[in-house]
Structure formats: structure tokens, C-alpha cells
Amino acid sequence: MSIVRVALDVPLPTLFDYTVAEGVSVEVGQRVIVPFGKRQLVGVVMECVATTDVSAERIKPVTQVLHDSAPLSAGLLDLLRFCSDYYRFPIGQTVLSALPVRLRSDKPVISKPILSYRLSANGAALDVESFPKRKVVQRRILAKLAEHPCNIAQIKTLSATVGAQLRALVQEGWVESFTSVHLPSASSALKVRNPLSNKFDAELSGRTVNSIRQHTFDNAHTLTSEQQLAVNAVTQAGGYACFLLHGITGSGKTEVYVHLMHEVLQRGGQVLLLVPEINLTPQLENYFRSRFPDVNLVSLHSGLSEGERLHNWLQAQIGAAQIVLGTRLSVFAELPALALIIVDEEHDSSYKQQDGLRYSARDAAIFRANQRGVPIVLGSASPSLESYHNAQSGRYQMLNLTGRALAAASLPTVRSINITQSVMHHGISENLLREIALRIERKEQSLLFINRRGYAPVLMCAGCGWLSGCKHCAGKMVLHLNEQRLRCHHCGYQIRVPNACPDCGSADLIPVGSGTQRVESVLHERFPDARILRVDRDSTRNKRAWQTMREQIHANEVDILVGTQMLAKGHDFPELTLVGVLNPDSALYSSDFRAPEKLFAQLVQVAGRAGRADKPGEVLIQTAFPDHPLFRALQTHDFEGWAASQLAERQMAGFPPFMFQAMLRAEGKIETELYAYLNQARAAAIELNHPVEILGVVPAALPRRANHLRAQLLIQATSRKALQQFLRAWQSRLDALPAAKLRCSLDIDPLEF
């Protein structure tokens, strides 16, 4: 009997040994069902060994070997081992969390054919212009299929109601479906090459290399000299290299991505493109489909159904998906022919997972690129200071785009409005309101950016000073006036707005501060005839809402946009010429040393929405500190000067990137147990006597959330190696500490404090 070591989705930092009956074949990376206590669990075989230290009577046999999907590759398993070790997270939970939900269950994986659509013989003979004009969506589908056959994902980009309209065309006989690509079973899984290496001796999914290389590329855009230099630098890398593409907003970073993808696709390679937000995925997906109309592009993100995610993941695994576009979890997608990784908006904190495996997708992507020997491009208009420092020190290669891609476009003018010397109307200055009126008159669009949803951050009693605090958290409940609810944005607890103060009975309850709903209300009062659109998490809750809103904005059916950070990045609205920023000063008071960096990046992104076409843009920032260096740097578009001053401050203070950090967090309901655990952990850390700095135990920034008290312990070291050596030694001592009633986690390279 052979022995396999299996990774299971349990919170234990080890693999589990099982026997395999004679005559049963099993490979590393294969899914198996094994007994674990009284349960049957799905696991992944990580090793096949001849001997074990576990006594024979304790080793149970594998219940079933699952052959319904191809084994995970050695490269992906190595990446997951690295993440488990670096982020100090159990190997089994690391491996299983990287898989689609369907692959974590014992339900059989059914390989479905990929349906595409084309015009039938009758449809090809049809004159689209003679088709009824009232059937707008059907006319669009017919016109698109007249160019080339499309799969359902490509057709869905035409309209939100495309499904019903496509079925109608099929029933009428104008359109027919056909099977374009089958997902092969594990038994027919093929060896696929890395197109940048010399190890290639097979075909991909039954298609020859020549057929892979043939694809239509919409090369409608001529590159600027800076864009061409960036493309040349990456394509000539010849192996692993990390590039920081620092381009101002509107400089055409996406166009650089497109040309790099074209180069890779010509050689039969796969591209992984990471984006920070789900909301950006459909927009970019539509754009890349238009540029590569016959390339198989799939998306991977949490907005997909289980079936969709499994289907797209399997396409990537067999190499049928040539471009994979996704959020942070897609960094773990199987990509046998991976030849290029792109991380768009690399500075975005959304790339850091904040629970479970607390990994950074950007950093994992860099490790993966190094592991596979392929180039990686980190793109941003305001790079993280860690990446910028690495580029300045020569660890990364810097690529600069200093001008806007459109010759007629220029960077917006940025001005500060001193709110202490201005007439204010419920948080909006008279100067800003006048500029909005001017844009409405010129039929241009304005955007008011306030990074706070709801009507007001807090409800206050004018009589006794009562504030709408959450009974489960240390935070305040936000007033949502339209729904007449007070809602906690930390734990989700909500109640109806009280008619009177719960403490003194006064009916004089006042909303304090502004959120998106209040700004929208003020604008409706000032501009009753204006078309105002609010874009935040509340208004885009429905699946198709944001797509419909985006279409309205592009059709210039909106005069004023009010939104949160959802509107700050990645969007191109040609008619938008004015951006007003409300209440940015709160970040200047934050105890988080990264708060100024985050604010600067956020304001650079939102300012970049203005004047992206041939009309000049203007940005007005309402602040009580117009002379603050951060706002001065924004006015002069001086990222380099701002970054240099911030890096100098961090070096003096001993903060990243000059220091490497790990945070031990703990949550519990009993304060004495919580602090006893963290103080014991601190004592154990001191006893190890490693060259690290061990700070004191302190409450978290939000000390109580969902009825759990929260505290933390920060460890710092001057080198990543020293920190990792300490963490490996400390881990065993942490595991031995009593923490049965606590939720504990180690956060390596933490972003939140």
C-alpha cells in the first residue's frame, strides 16, 4: 500500500496521512475523499510517500479518488505552500480556499460544452436594416453575430436583457447555437507549455500552436512614444521581471496592457489580469472583448454563481481561456500557459484579504511570476509607497507615462476651497454649487465625491447630546433617511429611526454630518430640474444596477453624479469636467500611518475622472487645511515630491517599507481572557530573544465589534527574513496558549490597524 499526505479544510497546520489500496492510481494534486473523525472530507493530495511516522493502525484508507477534474499542478501547489508558510495559515485551509466551491465538495464535476452562437443560413441572408427597429437588442445581437460567432458572455455585453432576446432569435431560426470548446475530463488533460520557456512538446486542448496564435486584434489606437517604450521593455524581458507602470490618470495604461496581451496571445500564452473591484470587471471585460473579439476571455470573481466560477476556472486550467480577468482570488487560478501577469491599480487595499488567509494578491502575483519566469506589470497612477520604493531602489523597473493619451486632453486644474472662509449649504460650498450650475448650463457632467454612504454618519439629540451608537459595536449607527433606518456599517445591526431621544425623550433629533444620500437631497433642492444619480453600495445592490447606471452616464443622461470610491477609479466619462471632493479632512486625523497615502491615492483617482476627453477638467477640494502639503502636491500633480516626503517620514519613524510587520489580533467576549492571551503571547515572543521589536498590547482601532472586544499586538523587524524566522519559532508557542474562547489571527504585512 502507498501512503498519501492530504491537505484538508481544517484549522490544523499539518497534512494527514492515508493509505491507498493496491491497484488504485492517485497523483499529487488530485482530489480525494477521506475519513476525518466521523465525517468524510474532500482533500487534495500534496505528497505520495513510502513511509510515515504514524503507526499503521492509526492510518485510515482513502475512501475515494476523484477523477472528475484534472489534478492541481505542481506550480499551483508550490504557490499555495508559499502562501501557507509566509502568511502562517494552515496548509489545508490555504489549498481548499483557493478552489471553486464545487471542487471543495464531493459533488461530481460535470464537464459541460461551451455553447457559442452564430447566424443560421436564414440569419446570414437577412438584411439587418430591414429588421423591426423596435427590436433594438435583437438588432444588436444580429449585427454582432454578422461580424463573427460569439459565446454567451460576449453577447451579454450588449444588454442586460440579452438572454431572452437571444432565445427569441434562436426560436425564430435567425440564430443557432454550436459547441465551440469542450472541457476535457481529467483523463484527457494535456501538457501545456509556458510559451516563454523551451519546454513545449504538446498541443493545447486539441488545437495546434498555429491555430492558437491566430486571433483578431483591434489595433485602432496608435501608441505614444512612452507607451511604446513601456511595451518594448516588458516584451523584451525574456523571463521574470517586475515592472511598475506609473502613469498619470488618462495616460493610457490600459492601452499598454492591450498591446502586451497581443504579444503574449500571438505566442499562445495566457494572461492573468487582476483588478481590485468587482465593479470594474464588467467594464474591463467589455473593453477587452471588443479589442480581442475572438479570444476566449473569462472572469473570476465573487459575483459569479458557483457554476459560472467553476466553468471559468476549468477553462483556465486546461488552457482554453486565453485571458483571465479577476479580483484577488483569481491569483490562484490554474494557468498552464501563463506568460504575463498584470495587476491594475496595484496600490489598492482591496488586494489584501482581511479574513481567513490574509494574503496580498499583489505580492502573491509577484511570487507567482518569479516562480514561472514571466514578467509582471504593476500599474497605478499613485503607486503604493512600498512598490514605489522598490522601483526607486532598483528591485522593480520603473516605466513612466507622464502625459495623457489623448493629445487634446490635459490634467485637470486642482483648487482647494477653504470651508472656514466659505458660505456652506449643508456641507457644500457656494463656490462649488456655482461651478455645478455652470456645468449644467454647458451640458457637461459633475461628480461630487464623498466617501460615506447613508444620509448622515450619526443622529444626535439637541437636548442631551445622545448619539446613535451601536449597542454591539464601538461605532455609531448611520442614518439612512430614505429607509427610515439607523444602520451599523460594521456589524449590520439596524433599527427604525426613533421618534424621540431614547435618553431624555426630546423630539429634537438632528442628523450630523453628510453622506451620499444627504448630498443628493441638497442637490435636488438646489437644482430641481437636474438629472442626479447616486452611486454607492446601497444604490447598486441589484445585479444589473451599476451596468445600467454606467450606460446612462455614457449616454450623457446624467448631469450630476454623487458617489463613493466606487466612482473613483477606472472609469472614463468623456462629458465629466468637474469633480468636487467633500470632507476629505477626516483622513488627516487618523492614527493609521497609511491614511495620508490612501487619501492621496483616492484623490488622485477621483480627480483623474475629470477632463479625460477634449474638454478641460477642474477639481475642487473642500478642506479646512488648504495649505496642507498633501493638497499642495495634488494641485501641482507632484506624486514624486509627495512620495519622497512620505518615505522620508516613514524612514525616520521606522514604518514600512523600511520595516516589516506582523500583527497578532484577538477577539473575545471577556476582556480579561483577551488581554491575558495577548500578554502571554508577548511574553513568549520576548523569551525567544529574536532580533525583532515587540510592541505593547493595545485595543484595536474599533475596540468592540459585533459584541466582541478586540485587541492586537504588533511585531516589527528590519528584514523580512528576520521576521519570518521569528514567526516560525513563535507559531508553536502561540498554538500551545489557551485560547478556546477567542478568535485569533496572524496578519503578515497588515494594512489595517
Q: What is the DSSP string of 366-407?
A: HHHHHHHT-EEEEEESS--HHHHHHHHTTSSEEEEE-S-SST
Contact 720, 727 (CB under 8 A): no
Of 607, 639, 671, which one is at a domain's C-terminal end? 639
φ, ψ at 151 (rounded to 5°): -85, 175
Give tens-digit pLDDT for 327-357: 999 999 999 999 999 999 999 999 999 999 9
Whether 733 shows a pLDDT value over 90: the answer reads: yes
Residue 681 belongs to a domain with what CATH number?
Answer: 3.30.70.600
- Max mean pLDDT among 143-157, 287-301, 456-470 falls in 456-470
> How high is the pLDDT of residue 407?
65
Q: Is residue 491 part of a domain?
A: no
Instruction: Give the confidence band of 111 by pLDDT, cuts at 50, 70, 90.
Output: low
- Round the average pLDDT of the chain to a whole number and report it: 88
pLDDT score, position 215: 63
User: In this structure, are 633 and 681 located in the same domain?
Assistant: no
Beta bridge pairs of residue 114:
181
Model confidence band, residue 722 (pLDDT cutoffs 50, 70, 90) = very high
Report yes or no on 645 lying in a domain.
no
Residues 726 and 619 in one domain: no
Across 274-303, average pLDDT: 85
- Same domain for 166 and 99, yes or no, is no
Higher pLDDT, 197 or 630: 630
User: Taking each helix axis from N to C terminus, what angle separates 639-653 and 385-392, rounded to the nearest 10 degrees?
Assistant: 100
Q: Is the pLDDT of residue 210 over 80?
A: no
Each residue's pLDDT tens digit, 393-434: 999 999 999 887 776 667 889 999 999 999 998 889 999 999
C-alpha cell at 508: 429634537
pLDDT of residue 100: 93
Structural domain containing residue 362: 209-401
Domain boundary among 104, 136, 165: 104
Beta-carbon-side half-sphere exposure of residue 461 (alpha carbons within 13 Å):
18
Q: What are phi and psi of 271, to 5 degrees?
A: -120, 135
Same domain? 425 vs 551: yes
Say how many domains are in the chain.
5
**DSSP code of residue 589:** G
Averaged over 115-135, what is the pLDDT? 82
- pLDDT of 457-484, one tens digit each? 999 999 999 999 999 999 999 999 988 9
Residues 568 and 524 in one domain: yes
Residues 572 and 446 reside in one and the same domain: yes
Query: pLDDT for 639-648, tens place per residue?
Result: 999 999 999 9
Residue 213 clears pLDDT 80, i.e. is over it: no
89 occurs within a structural domain: yes
Question: 84 pLDDT band (50/70/90 cuts)?
Answer: very high
Task: Check whether residue 255 and residue 133 sit in a common domain.
Answer: no
